[in-house]
Homo-oligomer: A and B are copies of this chain.
Amino acid sequence: MNEIVIPDSIRCELAGKGGITAIMELLPDNQTIENIVSVARALSDPVRIRVLFALFMQPMCVCLLVAMTGYAYSKMSYHLSVLKESDLVCSRQKGNYLIYYPTDLGRKVVEEIEGW
């Protein structure tokens, strides 16, 4: 792989870093990449961003989220499941209600993405 033609400046810099092989070895492993992608996917919808920020401020049952946003229950439930599968939120039962709240990761992520 080192015999391809590229600009000298890059060939130099690359050599100083151990070549393309060294770069490839330093890339995150597949499991790490899948985790990042799963969280990023969960964040890539405005509905879910709003829900995540709202839960960050205040744990809520689904009916409150539904009242707040005007979305159908099934829609809200779908988006909550996406957030849950990527470990950004979790839920506890309170009588008849399911109360959703952010995980530690969810809180960390909310604080980070505010600065994007």
Tell me the A residues contacting B by CB distance below 8 Å. 1, 4-7, 9-10, 13-14, 17, 20, 23-24, 26-28, 30, 33-37, 39-46, 49-50, 53-54, 57-61, 63-64, 67-68, 94-95, 97, 99, 105, 108-109, 112-116
Is the Cβ of B10 less than 8 Å from the Cβ of A60? yes
The 7 closest A-B pairs by CB, nearest first: A40-B43, A40-B44, A41-B44, A40-B40, A112-B112, A4-B67, A44-B44
Q: How far is the CB of A19 from chain B (nearest CB, A)?
A: 10
Are B34 and A46 within 8 A (Cβ)? Answer: yes
Contacts of A54 in B (CB 8 A): 23-24, 27
